[in-house]
Structure formats: structure tokens, C-alpha cells
Amino acid sequence: MRRSDVQRVSFSPLFLATVVVLAVMGSAASLSAQTVFIPINFGAAYEPQQLNDQLMNSATADQRLLMKSIAARDALLNERFPELTLPDVTDIERRFMQGNQSYFNGKYDAAVQELNEAFEEATARLSALTLRQGFAEATYMSGLYLVQLHYFVRGNQDDAETVIKELVRYFPSQVPNEEQFPPDLVEVYLKHLPKTGNGVKLNIRVDTGCFARINGHDLDMDPSVNLTVLPGSYGIAEICNDRTTRAYVVPVTRDTVVDFHDDFANAYTYPAALTLNAQPFLTQPEVVGRLLATVGSRVEAKFVFGAGLIPDGSPVPAGYRVMLVDVDKGQLVREFTVRPAEVATREGMADLLNALWTGEELKVVSLRDDSGGVTWTTIGIITASTGGVVLAAGAVFGVLAMTANSDFEDCNKDAACRLRGDDIQAIKDRNLYSTVADILYGTGGAILTAGLIMIIVDQVSGTTPEEKALRTWDYNLAGHPDGGVSMGVTYRW
């Protein structure tokens, strides 16, 4: 027997824009945020986005956790794991050339201002220094010109040494030679190089036959290079066959190892994909904890929540695994695997997060001790809840439509109001709100219905593995030339 039940609705551009605006508003983060969320891939067939969203919402509501918003987290990850596309820095390069030209033409005041502004902006673009070697070299040379302007032209050694300190910080592996600096200035420069007392050790490891580049400067072709650097952030890249294979922007506040081929490099593919691939370490939660700690240290968080679905047939109980990691200690604090249905609600997720954070016993949620896997009942509960939220939004716009209609009727009775054209605006508002309300009612009803169907069918149909194998769900989301979006859910047995 075969039956299909398909629900399709179209989302208007206005509705999509409204959702985007609400999402952005909801993602505003405190500057003191100390915790980030990272999804984990444990080998499940799909990503539990609704559960991840529930975790993020519950964690954000818990003021103890000081969660970074998704937008703030992604901004940091994009900065610390730059894509290998060369950034556009033509404006800064042009200002370097202009400042250098002013220097050679004897326009020293203009040269100081132009070079100083361009130098400050360039050193703030660590990914550009990392990926554009020519840009890094232009930045370094312009810094040297700036030192000479302060030292020889203005006779101000303090300002000269201030720039030298910046050069040493951003270009720790470079020292000017006597063709670039006179001997007495080289001597001043050498005094500011990082040493054991004020620096930290940085070890960079690359593949055999490759070399590392730090803030645009090539290091020796050696699989392992040791540097002493001042505490700060550094753009580090691996270069193989004259091609950048990967680049990191790494905060270095203590002795640090950056390995382009360790477990973390193999497991974490951001920005190509955000998810941490922990499948090889499914039975080793402490290893997954260390990988999450590395992500947390790169974005300078204090704690990391990681979560993902463990599928049926795994060597550990299936379910939704959530982990809390202490970044400073570099280790897993606690982890639980629970039934997805139990944390699909706000109360269940809040209970799980509290237990992870405090070590208190779970009150609402029970630990996962079987391999029942993720059921369509769970997905149905989440889907139906989403439909309810959309219906509620429709009710809000319905009230706005009625209010606008009331404004129109009142204005229509007042000649002065009609003369101002307020009645026309009220009609426009009424029609707009009414249209949006209709769309939200239709959308919410469809989503709610789909969720209820999932729950009912999953509960009343067969529960043996053979029977479940015959039941399939299809889901599709497609765009249309008119700007709308259609969603379809199909169940077959």
C-alpha cells in the first residue's frame, strides 16, 4: 500500500526578510560572552538543526553561560580560519605607495601621517598579511621607513622605538639588515626582539617538503620550526609547491604548537564546513574534548558546548550527545547522551545544560541507555512546535491588520484625516498585515500538520526494524522565479 500526503506553501520575500531581521536581532551577544557552541558530526545521516537551535536558545537564556551569539561566533571563526581567497587590499597598498613617495619627495609630515595610518590598518588585517606575501613585505618596508622618519628626520627616538616594537610584534622572524637600516638603528631594533623573559615559544609544524609563513614572512623549509614571539595573534600558513594549503590566525598567549596535520587539522574543516568531524573518536570523548578546546582557544572562549547525534549501530549508545569543555584546561568537563525527544523542549534542554554546567543531577531528562535512535516522533514534536510559533506570529499580524482597519474606519469619518491621506496609508497597512497574516497562518498550519502526521504515523505504524525500513519521509525546499519558496513533506508506506 502507498499513500502520499504533501503540503506545499510559498514564503513571500517580506516574510523571509522578517525572519532574517528577527534572527539577527536575536543573535546580539554580550561583549563578555565566554562560551561558544560547536556542532559535532558523529556519523548521523542528518544534522539535528532543531535540537542545536534549542540548545543555543536555552544556553543564551541562561545568564551563567554568557553565550556568544551565532553571528559573533561565525565572525570570529571566519577571522581565525580565513578562506584561501586572496583579500582585496589595494587601497592600503596605494596609500603605502603614496606615503613612500612623500618620503622620497621630502614631504615628511605627509609621509608620517600616510604611512602611520596605512601601517595601523594593515597590521589589523592578519589574514591579508598571511595570504598576500607582497602585501606583508610592503607593510614591513613601510614600517621601516616610518622608523627612519621618526629617528632621523624628526629626531624622536621614542616614536621610532614605538614603531619598532610593532614591527617586532607583527614580524617576529624578520630583522633589518644594514642595507635597510644604519648599524646604530639595527642595534636599537635588536634590543626589542622577543626573548625568553618577555616572549613565548611558538612551534609550527608542516608537511615534509613544505614551509611555514608567519604574517607573510617565509620561514625555513623545515617540518618543525621554533620561534620566540611576543604574546599576540599571528597569521600562520602552510606553503606547499608555492601554494597555500591552509591558514590559521592563532592567538598565542603561552607556549603554543600549531600543527597543520594533527587530529584537529584533520577533524576541523571550517570555513568549508563548521561541523567538527569526530567520527574517528566516537568512543574517545576526551579526544573530542581536546579538539573542541582547540576551537575554543582560537576564538578566545573559556568554555565550549559541543553537540551532535550518535546514530544507531554505533559502539556507544545512540542519541544526542552534548559535551562541555574547559578551554583553559584543554579538557572535557562533562558529557551526556540523551534521547532527542527529551531535549526537544525548552525545559528538557535547560535541565541538560544545567547538569552539564553545575554537575547537578538531571531532573527532567534521563540518560540514554539504549540504542533506539532518533524517531520521527521527535522530529514531529520539533516540527509541530515550529508550526505553533509561526501560527502565533500570524496571530500578531492579524491583530495588526484589525488595528489598521480600525484606523481606516476612524479616518474615513474625519475630513481632515482623509485630506492628509492617512486613510490611504491605513488601507495599505491593513492589506499588508492581512497578507502576511494569511501567509503565516498557511505556513504555520502546514508545518503543524506535517509535525502531527509524523507523530501519529510513527506511533501507530509498525515498530520492528523491517517495518520501519519500509517507512520513508521526503523533504524538499525549492525556490521559484517569482521570489517565493516552496516546502514539501511527503510520507510513504
Domains of the chain: 31-81+270-358 (3.40.50), 90-263 (no CATH), 376-492 (no CATH)
For residue 271, whether the previous peptide bond is cis, meaning omega lies within 30 degrees of 0, is yes
Q: Nearest 5°: CA angle at 482, between 476 and 486?
A: 20
Compute the distance between CA of residue 371 and CA of residue 314 in angstroms, rounded to an integer.
Answer: 8
Q: What is the pLDDT of residue 413?
A: 79
> Measuring CA to CA, which residue among 173, 219, 208, 215 is closest to residue 194?
173
Q: Where are the alpha helices (DSSP H) in 62-181?
A: 70-80, 90-104, 108-123, 126-131, 133-148, 157-170
Burial (CB < 10 A; 0-12, 13-18, 19+), residue 416, is exposed
| CA distance linking residue 303 with residue 296, whole number of Å | 7
Global pTM? 0.66
Q: Which pLDDT score is estimated for 10? A: 41
- In this prediction, residue 297 carries a pLDDT of 94
Q: Which long-range contacts (CB under 8 A, 24 or more apart) does 100-106 make?
A: 100/141, 100/142, 100/145, 103/145, 103/149
Helix/strand/coil (H, E, C) string of 68-96? CCHHHHHHHHHHHCCCCCCCCCHHHHHHH
pLDDT in tens, the chain (493 residues): 333 333 333 444 444 334 433 333 333 333 346 999 999 999 998 889 999 999 999 999 999 999 999 999 999 999 999 988 899 999 999 999 999 999 999 999 999 999 999 999 999 999 999 999 999 999 999 999 999 999 999 999 999 999 999 999 999 989 998 777 888 888 889 999 998 888 999 999 999 999 999 999 999 999 999 999 999 999 999 999 999 999 999 999 999 999 999 999 999 877 777 889 999 999 999 999 999 999 999 999 999 999 999 999 999 999 999 999 999 999 999 999 999 999 999 999 999 999 999 999 999 998 865 544 456 677 778 888 888 888 888 888 888 888 888 888 888 878 778 777 777 888 888 888 888 888 988 888 888 888 788 777 665 554 433 333 334 444 444 444 444 445 554 444 4
Residues 6+ apart with CB under 8 A from 143: 115, 119, 163, 166, 167, 171
What is the C-alpha to C-alpha distance for residues 307 and 44, in angstroms, rounded to an integer? 12
User: Would you state the pLDDT for residue 280?
Assistant: 95
Distance CA 131, CA 311 (A): 39
The partner residues of 39 in beta bridges, in order of sequence, read: 307
User: Which secondary structure element, helix H or strand E, spans residue 376, and what is its range?
Assistant: helix 376-412
> How many angstroms separate the CA atoms of 426 and 406, rounded?
9
Cβ neighbors of 260 (< 8 A, separation 6 or more) are: 205, 206, 207, 238, 245, 246
Give the angle subtended at the CA of 337 by the CAs of 283 and 63, to the nearest 5°.
Answer: 120
pLDDT value at residue 92: 96
- Residue whose C-alpha cell reads 608620517 in the numeric block: 112
Q: Is 270 exposed, middle or buried (0-12, 13-18, 19+ CB in 10 A)?
A: middle
pLDDT at 374: 56
Own/partner pairs, 178-182, CB within 8 angstroms, 24+ separation: 180/141, 180/144, 181/144, 181/147, 181/148
pLDDT of residue 4: 34
User: Are residues 472 and 492 in contact, defined by beta-carbon separation less than 8 angstroms?
Assistant: yes
| Cα–Cα distance for residue pair 238/243, rounded to 1 Å | 8
> Which residues face 200 on adjacent strands?
229
Given this model, what pLDDT does residue 196 score? Answer: 82
What's the pLDDT at 488?
52
